[in-house]
Every structure is written in structure tokens, then in C-alpha cells.
Amino acid sequence: MSEYVLETKDLGISFGGLKAVQDVNLSIKRRQLYGLVGPNGAGKTTIFNMLTGVYQPTTGTFYLEGEELKGLNQEKINHKGIARTFQNIRLFNNMSVIRNVMVGLHNQPEFKCGIVSSIFRLPSYYKTEKAMREKAKSILRIVGLEDERNNLACNLPYGKQRKLEIARALATNPKLLLLDEPAAGMNPQETADLVEIVKSIRDQFDLTVLLIEHDMKFVAGLCDEITVLNFGTVLAQGKTNDCLNDPEVVKAYLGG
């Protein structure tokens, strides 16, 4: 098996002739917490969109544990083991917190319940439902939302909605978790908590995390390696501290 969970090879995409992302090569190891940073419009979210089948790359390709996933749709890629959160939170607002997580569990074989037993509410339906509820509760516990499970998602404060998005992504049992600005809108205490939550997710779910984040303290606290993008191309790549001290990177952030 490949040493890397995720590998991208010369990944790129154009929109109407404009190259939004060009020649991005990433190699992310198992259980790594890896950062993707860069100024607004650098192409970070577009990379996530390619890795999750929202956009099809115009050049290059990518592999999950050595298996090429380019060309698959969003659902298939999720089944293969890539899950994400969104920069703009996308929750089922009028569902309870726990329901939002249970939706994510539906794609898993252990929680499949036949259509007949669902319609007629046979005992196996209630058994599956109960098992899903327990599983969802355990995921909510890890992100610190267990006590909120019966509230409506829309009634959660912003920082907690971000954590719920993570819980919902986790429910699909990913090998690779993509977090798009998970600390955006969080206060300093919530951001500090999130560092610990991401670490404990990695440990408890034995997964790999690729995250986009603007808060450099957050990135430095979590990621040993990063890739810095600017105008769709890789500006620096490697150890976090080396990259953040790179004069080209400093210049890009200060706007040249």
C-alpha cells in the first residue's frame, strides 16, 4: 500500500481559460495533520472541491491510499473515504443536532435497514435506529456537543455549528477529513479547544486531516507540514515554521 493517504499529481483546474489551480503536488502521510494556507482567492477551496468530486480537475489527478479517484462523483468519493466540511456552513438547520449526524451514518453498511422494515417500522428498524443514535451520540461527545444533541442545528452558536459540521463529516467514517476554515468565526477559547478536538479526532478515528485555515497560530499548533498557495500555484511546501518564515510567503501575505 502507498505510504501516502493522499497524493495529488500536477492537479489543476481552469474556469473559462483562467487557471484557478495549477500543478499542485501534495503527499500526505497516514495520520498526518496537514495544512493548506494562502491568501484569499489562492485556490484552497477549489482544491477541496476537486478532491471531493464537486469539480473535475482539468489537469493532473489524485489518489487515496494509492487508488486513483479522479472522475468519481461526490457520493462515490465519500464512500471511498474522503469527507469534508464547508467554508460556508451547510447543515440541516431545522433538524436536531443528533439527526444531522445520523444523516451522515446512513451510507454505512452496518446501519443499512431494508426499505420494508423502514416503511412498516419493524423491530429491526428500531434496532438500527437505536444503534445509529448511540453512534451519533459518541461522535457528538468527541466534538463536545453531546449535551446539545436535541437542540435544532440553527439554534447553535456559530462555533458549535462548525463543530457539528465536523461531526457530520466524521459520521461517514472517512480516511481523510478535509476541514475548510474550521476556526473561522470562533473565539480564541473555541479555537484553542478546536486544536485539541482535531488531535483527538485523529487519534480516536485513526484518520488523516487536511485543513485550510487563516489563523496561523492554529495552523502552527496543529500542522507539522503545510503547503502555501498563491494565485493557484504552490509558493512553499514543507515544515510549517520554515514555510511561514519564507520571505516569499511573508510577501504574499503582506500583499507584496
Interface contacts to ligand ADP, rule CB under 6 A = 15, 20, 38, 40-46
- DSSP states of 129-186: HHHHHHHHHHHHHHTT-GGGTTSBGGGS-HHHHHHHHHHHHHTT--SEEEEESTTTT-
The contacts of residue 63 (CB under 8 Å, 6+ apart) are 2, 4, 6, 7, 8, 9, 69
Among ligand ADP, Mg ion, none, partner that 40 touches (CB below 5 to 8 angstroms by kind): ligand ADP
We find the least distance from the C-beta atom of residue 87 to Mg ion, in angstroms, to be 5
The contacts of residue 81 (CB under 8 Å, 6+ apart) are 64, 65, 173, 174, 175, 176
Contact 132, 101 (CB under 8 A): no
Give the nearest residue (CB) to Mg ion. Answer: 45
For residue 162, how far is the Cα from the chain centroid? 11
For ligand ADP, the closer CB: 44 or 99:
44
For ligand ADP, the closer CB: 59 or 151:
59
User: Beta strand pairing status for 82-84 and 176-180?
Assistant: parallel
Which helix (H) or strand (E) segment holds residue 15: the answer is: strand 4-15
For ligand ADP, the closer CB: 44 or 149:
44
Binding site for Mg ion (CB under 5 A): 44-45, 87
Contact 12, 24 (CB under 8 A): yes
Among ligand ADP, Mg ion, none, partner that 20 touches (CB below 5 to 8 angstroms by kind): ligand ADP
We find the least distance from the C-beta atom of residue 86 to ligand ADP, in angstroms, to be 11
For Mg ion, the closer CB: 22 or 45:
45
For Mg ion, the closer CB: 205 or 231:
231
We find the least distance from the C-beta atom of residue 67 to Mg ion, in angstroms, to be 26
We find the least distance from the C-beta atom of residue 20 to ligand ADP, in angstroms, to be 3
We find the least distance from the C-beta atom of residue 45 to ligand ADP, in angstroms, to be 3
We find the least distance from the C-beta atom of residue 48 to ligand ADP, in angstroms, to be 8
For ligand ADP, the closer CB: 45 or 52:
45
Closest CA to 227 of 87, 44, 61: 44
